Amino acid sequence: MSHPRLTPDKDRMPLKESAQIGRGVVSLLRKPNGPRDRQLLLGAEVTVFSREDGWAYVQSAADGYCGFVGVASLTKPQAITHKVTAPGSHGYQNANMKSIDRCTLSHGSLLASLGEKDGFINTSHGFVPKQHIAPIDFFEDDPVQVAAQFVGTPYLWGGNSRWGFDCSGLVQAACAACGIPCGGDTDMQEADLGELLPDGSIPQRNDVLFWKGHVALVWDEETLVHANSHDMATAFEPLDEAIARIAKTDGPITSHRRLPVPA
């Protein structure tokens, strides 16, 4: 998909280096000290095109999104072996749940195992409980169930983590957990995500509904799950009530798409 936010700025490309995000959650900014467009999680792979005044201009390997992160948030690439599948977790100083936590981890964080000990994997960010992770090649098969884990999570514009999602960030996280390619913003998702259905199609589980500037996942024929500013959280909402409420500000549904998940 050709999109300005997915096309690196040719004037900012003296380098082309591989790196990874080395902190729990890092904001991807439109410009240095500018507004947040999205977030990148620990272990996310990026291409670095420039470094200047403490800022790096990067492109996310997962979805192609371009923006700025602090240079200090980048590390050299490691061979990723695991990902966090629990809503959140911690990296502990020792292989002991009572030891000091060194790092807070969101669902979707990527880890390089240095070995195992007493039910934990050892990583450069601490010992992570094996109950909270899965091998990197593991994928869920029910995106809306993934999204439902985050009911009650605060709404955050540009958010992609356990500590804040916006509408498109929640859909992207749910799809990524299931191995479904998904853009970072609503317009990208509406253009490419899943199969476009005819007007009047009956919503079913794991369908995706779009409005002007908003997106929601279908839990069942009568219920949505979405990160929304009305609740300022990820929430369940009756489908008919959501359609009526959103129509007052954003108009009617603009697209109805179906994700490629097992029946």
Choose among 4, 68, 70, 65: nearest CA to 31: 68
What global pTM score does this model have? 0.96
| pLDDT digits 0-9 by tens, 138-194 | 999 999 999 999 999 999 999 999 999 999 999 999 999 999 999 999 999 999 999
What's the pLDDT at 10?
84
| Fold category of 4-75 in CATH | SH3 type barrels. (2.30.30)
What's the pLDDT at 2?
61
Q: Render each residue's pLDDT in the chain as its tens digit; 263 residues.
A: 468 899 998 888 788 999 999 999 999 999 999 999 999 999 999 999 999 999 999 999 999 999 999 999 999 999 999 999 999 999 999 999 999 999 999 999 999 999 999 999 999 999 999 999 999 999 999 999 999 999 999 999 999 999 999 999 999 999 999 999 999 999 999 999 999 999 999 999 999 999 999 999 999 999 999 999 999 999 999 999 999 999 999 999 999 999 998 76
Choose among 161, 44, 27, 40: nearest CA to 112: 44
Cβ(260)–Cβ(254) under 8 Å?
Answer: no
Distance of CA 88 to the CA centre of its chain: 13
Angle (nearest 5°) at CA 97 between 124 and 128:
30
Domain boundaries defined on the chain: 4-75, 82-135, 143-258
Task: With H, G, I as helix, E, B as strand and everything else as coil, classify residue 14.
Answer: coil
| Fold category of 82-135 in CATH | SH3 type barrels. (2.30.30)
Neighbours of 23 (CB within 10 A): 17
Distance of CA 227 to the CA centre of its chain: 12
Domains 4-75 and 82-135 share a fold: yes
CATH superfamily of the 143-258 domain: endopeptidase domain like (from Nostoc punctiforme) (3.90.1720.10)
- CA-based end-to-end distance of the chain: 27
What percent helix, strand, coil does the chain show, rounded to 5? Answer: 20, 40, 45
